[in-house]
Amino acid sequence: MRNAYVGTARRKLRGISHVELLVAGMLLSIGLAASVKLWTFAYAVTIDTDHVGMAYNLGRQTLEAVHNAGFANVPEGTTVTYYTGAPAATADASQAMYRVTTTVTSSAVKSGVAGQAGAVPADTALRTVNVTVTLMRDNSTLYSTGTYLARGGI
């Protein structure tokens, strides 16, 4: 005897798996697209974090070098240094990833012009030091800091 149910089931089941698969596929693609977007966002944030970390370490390194040189020996004016990502500076700006700009200006000078290279700070001067780290790719400022120098100070 023929199974009445089979005939009925066949009519009811015809095409349902395809539709189901299509819908499932659509949902999967939407979901995966969103997840991929999330993943790329996380990747970009991670890259950015790397840059920020590198930048503030370069900034700290630069300012420590300024402190090390001492109040009277830090050159007046603006100094620019380039880094590829390695601790040592590079002379080739075209290969650099980061640019560190150090600006030193004295409130009083014995000779020269304050804020310009060659000026000699007065003993009573307060020297303003600003350090800025820039990402060369898009000239965005990653990190900046500033401090003062004084005779007999830090």
Distances (CA, A) of 87 to 2, 35, 93, 125: 83, 36, 15, 32
Q: Which stretch binds other proteins (CB under 8 A): 44-52, 76-84, 92-100, 111-119?
A: 44-52
Question: Does the footprint of other proteins cover residue 65 (CB under 8 A)?
Answer: no
Name which position in 4, 55, 70, 93 contacts other proteins (CB under 8 A). Answer: 55
Question: Does the footprint of other proteins cover residue 140 (CB under 8 A)?
Answer: no
Q: What residues between 22 and 41 interact with other proteins by CB under 8 A?
A: 23-25, 27-28, 31-32, 34-35, 38-39, 41
Residue whose entry in the numeric block shows the structure tokens 């920020």 = 52
Question: What x-and-dash track marks residues 83-122 binding other proteins by CB under 8 A?
Answer: ----------------------------------------
Positions that interact with other proteins (CB under 8 A): 3, 6, 9-10, 13, 16-17, 20-21, 23-25, 27-28, 31-32, 34-35, 38-39, 41-43, 45-46, 48-49, 52-53, 55-56, 59-60, 63, 123-126, 128, 130, 143-154
